[in-house]
Amino acid sequence: MRGARAAACSFVLAAMGVARGTLSLDAGGGATTGYTRRFAARVAYDGTDFRGWQVQAATNDRSRPPRTVQGELEAALNTVYQQQVRTVAASRTDTGVHARSQTIHFDVTGRDGGEPRYVDELGLLEYKLNQLLPSDAVVWNVSRAPVLGTVNGMPWHANVATTGKIYR
């Protein structure tokens, strides 16, 4: 009976958009269960001063990494959520390339009492991100990503769910 109950709980959590994470230890050594929520958004940017979308390593020990769209967006998300947040884009762009409506997703993990840490009001999240982003990048249409993905029931993925790209 316990297995059936666990399966039912997993189904309910999935329907709520919460994916069961891994078991980890908190600062006091107690076990906590992590949960992850996936968000989708659109990003537009003027690529003139960016070295493309993808985060890049510094060229030598003394230099800073080049400025990228992903780097700026992740820095803003890390500030809002006070945790390391990675972004995934539908596509990558090269140095100097602009984007009008690039789809992205990001996952936010919660540890406190099993409840995820995320901004309840998506409009407030959008506002906070845009306050932290530089003037040549903007995020909009932040939403919860669909619970089920487009391929084999896997979680929704910005790159996999893309149906087309237009380059001009």
> Residue 132: CB partners within 8 Å, gap ≥ 6?
75, 76, 79, 80
CA dihedral 89, 95, 100, 103 (to 10 degrees): 0
Catalytic residue among 26, 46, 61, 94: 94
CA dihedral 14, 16, 17, 18 (to 10 degrees): -70
46 is catalytic: no
Residues designated catalytic: 94
